[in-house]
Chains A and B, each alone.
Chain A
């Protein structure tokens, strides 16, 4: 467009820019200003001197982090927690959607759907309290079952080796139904003629799920998988934090909870910002890499 025409157009459409203004200001102030604040990772930030005035220290904080004894532990914990969550938690909603889609009784289908996505709206605080109550060693329902059948009660919430299992399975309980909605939406768009043709050919239901349903939701699966990989290092902060107990810390301390503790509780601002930046850069790299790989292999990608 000619630049004169552009200006004239902008003047005629000034009201649109007024409408746009609040969200642009918001994005700049609350997203881009903090990005600028990242430079304190390369400085020794003192609040009295401000971001600009604090002295540069180069990579000091990164080196301190890489050398510290927690580095290996919290990175491993973060990667393991989210990799297992993704590996186990990702396929389950897909399977669930494929199977629920086969329930032909509309009423039954709606009922199952309504029930299964209800837990999504429970707050993390309440979810973790429910876990505490149900898994309590002497009063919890699960342990009472175990002892009823002659087993020994397990303190699931405190034991290191149970942390990930409890974290991941409760995550599936909470989000399976909600994550399935998007696949169900995609499945409702499958052309029924494909199914009819396959039925005439004598294909059984399982065959048709495999050959008709699954390929048709594959693009959706790919996109969500890329997003999942891209956020592998940013596991939910709240849940891990709320599930932390002294005894399970060796596995439950993850990057984000550690940043909170050293950054806000110990006020080591620059050090914590450096750890946060390390985390964001890895996330961003993973996202770009997965997106690239997926575009090459399947033609589906975010951009």
Chain B
């Protein structure tokens, strides 16, 4: 390799420094939350930089574990995410496969019908009235059915099928008298594990993080998913009132309430944080597949 010119050397040094700074800016806030959740509230509220938990404090977590609504929300979110993702996969994979077949009569107009919805929608109120009319208000179906598939994901999946399932495979299977159902289930799906994983992740995260839909469609407290509970705890500040005993002074309560937030954030992100390092390569693949057709 040729030795670098002075300009290139300066650029390289600058570039590495910049990337390190960016990484730090993103990593540190996340790291801080974790450290703060284990530290003494007095130290955290002083607002200095923390590198390691100071005066290890676990009472916050003890209070969080005792707080029932959070765990009801957790359980609800798990149920909604699992059921919702399953429905998403069925709708997306079947639709995308049919649309990937060149011999599907009417493929073009059906695609148009789908794509148009990406750019124009009925809006909030008509959708709300529809859910009301269908009688699924305040049930998990109000969260799952209106989001049963995303056109964008159907297109990505279709592109994947088109580029990975060779036409010859279908021709050979048809020769052997294989039906379309059988071909889809026993040949296409096993060859498409990557896209199934990518879609499950994208949809799953979407369900886990969704806040707006449960806010408008779910009305019973015991059916709230985690994000709605979190919003009540973290943003509208119900922590101080519900989680802490009356014996404490106002100032004391406020001090601990601030600190409890860190623990609640960590607890809510835990499932994601634990799987993220293992699954992140699939996310990249998902975006890459999407970018082929862009």
Name the distance in Å between A127's Cβ and chain B's nearest Cβ. 10
Summarize A's interface: helix, strand, loop or mixed: helix
**By the criterion CB–CB under 8 Å, are A103 and B16 in contact?**
yes
Give the residues in chain A near B180, CB-CB below 8 Å: 13, 15-16, 19
Task: Report how far A206 CA is from B15 CA in the complex, Å.
Answer: 11
Task: Report how far A292 CA is from B171 CA in the complex, Å.
Answer: 40
Task: Report how far A79 CA is from B130 CA in the complex, Å.
Answer: 29
Q: Nearest 5 A-B pairs (CB), nearest first?
A: A34-B122, A37-B126, A23-B95, A144-B47, A276-B123
**By the criterion CB–CB under 8 Å, are B231 and A242 in contact?**
yes
Name the distance in Å between B283's Cβ and chain A's nearest Cβ. 7
User: Given A129-B235, A143-B47, A185-B291 in contact, is the A30-B230 Cβ separation under 8 Å?
Assistant: no
Task: Report how far A80 CA is from B199 CA in the complex, Å.
Answer: 34
From B49, B125, B127, B280, residue with most partner A Cβ within 10 Å: B125
Name the distance in Å between A9's Cβ and chain B's nearest Cβ. 6
Give the residues in chain A near B61, CB-CB below 8 Å: none
| Residues from 8 to 45 in A contacting B, C-beta threshold 8 Å | 9-10, 13, 15-20, 22-24, 26-27, 29-38, 40
Give the residues in chain B near A22, CB-CB below 8 Å: 90-91, 94-95, 148
Name the distance in Å between A272's Cβ and chain B's nearest Cβ. 5
Name the distance in Å between B207's Cβ and chain A's nearest Cβ. 11
Give the residues in chain B near A232, CB-CB below 8 Å: none
Task: Report how far A140 CA is from B294 CA in the complex, Å.
Answer: 41
Name the distance in Å between B98's Cβ and chain A's nearest Cβ. 4
Which residue from B146, B181, B291 sits with its C-beta under 8 Å from A30? B146
Q: Residue B85 at the A interface, CB < 8 A?
A: no
From A27, A32, A173, residue with most partner B Cβ within 10 Å: A27
**By the criterion CB–CB under 8 Å, are A126 and B130 in contact?**
no
Q: Which of A70-78, A83-91, A106-114, A160-168 contacts B (4 or more CB under 8 A)?
A: A106-114
| Residues from 213 to 231 in A contacting B, C-beta threshold 8 Å | 219-220, 223-224, 230
Give the residues in chain A near B90, CB-CB below 8 Å: 22
**By the criterion CB–CB under 8 Å, are A287 and B119 in contact?**
yes
Considering only CB atoms, which chain B residue lies closest to A273 in the complex? B125
Give the residues in chain B near A116, CB-CB below 8 Å: 22-23, 26
| Contact flags B78-121 to A (C-beta < 8 A → 1, else 0) | 00000000000011101111110101110000100110010111
From A51, A123, A237, residue with most partner B Cβ within 10 Å: A123
| Contact flags B244-265 to A (C-beta < 8 A → 1, else 0) | 0000000000000010011001
User: Given A33-B130, A112-B23, A132-B235 in contact, is the A220-B212 Cβ separation under 8 Å?
Assistant: no
Interface residues of A, CB < 8 Å — how many? 98
Give the residues in chain A near B212, CB-CB below 8 Å: 237-238, 241
**By the criterion CB–CB under 8 Å, are A35 and B234 in contact?**
no
Q: Residue B145 at the A interface, CB < 8 A?
A: yes
Q: Residue B129 at the A interface, CB < 8 A?
A: yes
Tally of contacts, chain A with chain B, CB under 8 A:
267
Task: Report how far A27 CA is from B92 CA in the complex, Å.
Answer: 12
Give the residues in chain B near A29, CB-CB below 8 Å: 130
Counting contact residues on chain B (CB < 8 A from A), the size range is 35 or more
Q: Residue B227 at the A interface, CB < 8 A?
A: yes
Considering only CB atoms, which chain B residue lies closest to A26 in the complex? B148
Task: Report how far A237 CA is from B213 CA in the complex, Å.
Answer: 11
Q: Residue A280 at the B interface, CB < 8 A?
A: yes
**By the criterion CB–CB under 8 Å, are B124 and A124 in contact?**
no
Q: Residue B216 at the A interface, CB < 8 A?
A: yes
| Residues from 219 to 274 in B contacting A, C-beta threshold 8 Å | 227, 230-231, 234-235, 258, 261-262, 265, 268-269, 272
Q: Residue A204 at the B interface, CB < 8 A?
A: yes
Q: Residue A122 at the B interface, CB < 8 A?
A: yes
**By the criterion CB–CB under 8 Å, are A205 and B8 in contact?**
yes
**By the criterion CB–CB under 8 Å, are A144 and B92 in contact?**
no
- Can you list 8 A-B pairs, Cβ within 8 angstroms, ordered by A? A19-B97, A27-B151, A38-B122, A38-B126, A47-B129, A125-B211, A129-B261, A279-B123
Which residue from B22, B126, B149, B290 sits with its C-beta under 8 Å from A182? B290
Give the residues in chain B near A23, CB-CB below 8 Å: 91-92, 94-96, 114, 149, 154
**By the criterion CB–CB under 8 Å, are B208 and A123 in contact?**
yes
Q: Residue B29 at the A interface, CB < 8 A?
A: yes
**By the criterion CB–CB under 8 Å, are B181 and A10 in contact?**
no
Considering only CB atoms, which chain B residue lies closest to A231 in the complex? B119
From B16, B209, B235, residue with most partner A Cβ within 10 Å: B235
